[in-house]
Amino acid sequence: MESSKKTQWLVLITVIVGTFLGRLDQTIVNLALPKIIDDFRITISSAGWIATAYILANAVFVPVWGKLGDTIGRKKVYILGFSIFIVGSILAGFSWNLSSMIVFRIIQAIAGSADYPTAMAIITVTFRAGKERAQALGIWSASFAAASVFGPLLGGPLIDIFGWRSIFLINLPIGALGIYMAIKYVNESVAEKKTVKFDWFGAVTLGISLAALVLVLDQGVDWGWWSLNSILAYATVIVFGVIFYIIEKNHPEPIVDLKFFKIPVFVWTLVNNFIVFMGFMGSVFLIPVFAQTFLGYSATETGYLFMPLAFAMVIAAQFGSRLVGKVESRYVIFASTLIAALGLYLFAGIDARSTAWDIIYPLTIMAFGLGFGMAQRTSAIASAVPEKEIGIASSVLALVRNIAGAFGIAVFATILNNSIESHVISLSQGTIINVHTPLVYSQVVPLLILKAQINAYSTVFLVSAAVVLVGAFIALLVKTKKEDDVEIKTPME
C-alpha cells in the first residue's frame, strides 16, 4: 500500500528519533566520564574502555543487522534493535562498577547498530520518488551528524542537575515514543529474495577484522603505532580480512556483496564519504580541546560554539537535496567537499587570541559543506544497488563513516603530537635568549611549548584541509544515472 504524503514524513520523523537518540547517546557519555570515574574509583585509562567497547560492538554488528533487516523485515529489526537499546540504557543507568558498565554499553552498541542500515532502507522503500527520497535521506543524514553536536548541549545540564545516570535513563521515555511511532507508522518491507543460508562465518570473520581495526585506531596513540599490541591488531585485520574475502567470494548469499565494489558510483561515493567524515570527526574532536585548553572556555561554553554547526548542516542538507535532478550529483558533492575543505583551511589561523567567532564561522562553513552534499551521497549509494540489498549497502556506508571517524581522530591526534615535537625543536633552534638565568628559562620554556602546541593545531588543520580537497576531486568520479521523479516500482512483501 502506498503511503500518503503525511505518513511518509511521519516515517522519516520516526527513524530520525531512533538515529538521533543512538548517536546522541554515543557522544553524550564522554561528558559523563569524569563523574563515572569518581563514582567507580577507576583510572582515566580504564574509563576509556567504556567508549572503546561501544565503538567496537557497534562496528562489528552493523553488517549483521543490515542483512537481517533485508531478510526478516526492516521494521521488525528496527523495533527489536530499538527495544534492546532501551533495555541496555536502563541497565547502564543502574550499573554498579566498570565491568557492568562495559557489558551494558556493549548491549547498547549491539542494539544501536541496528538503526542505521534498517533506517536507511525504511526511508528508501517509503519514499519512492527520486527527489523526495533524496530530500528525506538528506534530512535523516543531517540528523545523524547533528546529534554529535547536541550531545554536549543536552548532556551537560542533565549531568549537572540529575547526575550521570540520567543520560542513560532519559532514553526510556524518548525510546518508548520512538517505538510507538515505529509500530504505528512504519510499514514492513523485506527483500524479494529470501535468505536460505545466513552467512555466519562471513559475519564472524568480518566482525573480528573490524574489531581489531577499530581497536588499534582507538588505542594506537596510547599503545604506539608500532608496539606489539598494534602489530598484533594489524595482523588480525589482514588475516581475518583475507579469510572474509575468500568466504564472501564463494558464498551464495554473502553478508557483504563484493559485487558492490565493482560499481564505480558506489566505490567513489564511499571514498569521498570516508574522507569528508574523517575531516569532520577529526576536527570536531580537536576544536573542543583547543577551546578549553587555550581559550579558557568551559565545557558548556564550548558546546555553544557548535550550535550554528547543527543548523548549518540541516539547512545545507535541505538546499542540497533540492538540487537532485537539476544538477548532476558529482558536481554537488564536489562543491560540498570543496566548501568543507575551505572551512578546515580557515581553522589554520586560530591562536590563543582567537574569539568565539573565529571558531564559529569556519566550523559553520565546514558543516554547510558537509550537509550540502549529504543527500547526494546517500542517494547515490541507495540508487547504485538493487532495492533488495539496500540494507546491506547502507550498512557498508555506516561502517565507512564509523571507521572514518575513528581513523580521523587517530590520524589527527598523531599528527598533532608529532607536530608539537617538531615545532618545539624548530622554535628552540630559532630562539635567542640573552639573559641566561633560571628565572628566564622557567618563563621562556613554557612559552615555547605553548607556541609549539598552537602551531601544531594549525599544521593539523592545513593537512586535513589538503586531504579533504583531494576528496573533492574524487567526487568528480561519482557518475550517477539522471535522477527523476519517476516512481520506483519494485515488488515488496
- State pLDDT tens for residues 47-98: 767 777 777 777 777 777 777 777 777 888 888 988 999 999 999 999 999 8
Which residues, including other chains, have CB under 8 Å from residue 110's CB and lie 6 or more apart? 57, 58, 61, 84, 88
* Residue 492 pLDDT: 32
Structurally, what CATH architecture does the domain formed by 5-199+251-427+450-477 represent? Up-down Bundle (1.20)
Which H helix or E strand runs over 13?
helix 5-40
What interhelical angle do 130-162 and 307-321 show, nearest 10?
Answer: 170
* Residue 310 pLDDT: 73
Mean pLDDT of all residues belonging to the chain? 78
- Read off the pTM: 0.71
Q: What is the C-alpha separation between 20 and 310, in angstroms, rounded?
A: 12
Residue 234's Cβ-count burial label (10 Å; 0-12, 13-18, 19+) is: middle
Which residues, including other chains, have CB under 8 Å from residue 412's CB and lie 6 or more apart? 282, 283, 285, 286, 460, 464
Confidence band, pLDDT 50/70/90 cuts, at residue 3:
very low
Residue 91's Cβ-count burial label (10 Å; 0-12, 13-18, 19+) is: middle
* Residue 487 pLDDT: 39
* Residue 308 pLDDT: 81
* Residue 45 pLDDT: 61
- State pLDDT tens for residues 437-471: 565 555 555 556 666 777 788 888 888 899 899 98
Q: What is the C-alpha separation between 319 and 457, in angstroms, rounded?
A: 32
First-to-last alpha carbon distance for the chain, in angstroms, is: 11
Q: What is the C-alpha separation between 151 and 140, in angstroms, rounded?
A: 17
| Per-domain residue ranges of the chain | 5-199+251-427+450-477, 200-250
* Residue 164 pLDDT: 86
Residue with cell 564511499: 270
* Residue 486 pLDDT: 36
Torsion angle of the four alpha carbons 65, 270, 381, 257, in this order, in degrees rounded to the nearest 10: -50
Cβ distance 95 to 79 under 8 Å? no
* Residue 194 pLDDT: 54
Confidence band, pLDDT 50/70/90 cuts, at residue 347:
confident
Confidence band, pLDDT 50/70/90 cuts, at residue 431:
low
Instruction: Give CA 322 to chain center in angstroms.
Output: 24
Q: What is the mean pLDDT of residues 216-227?
A: 80
Can you give the C-alpha Rg of the chain in angstroms?
23
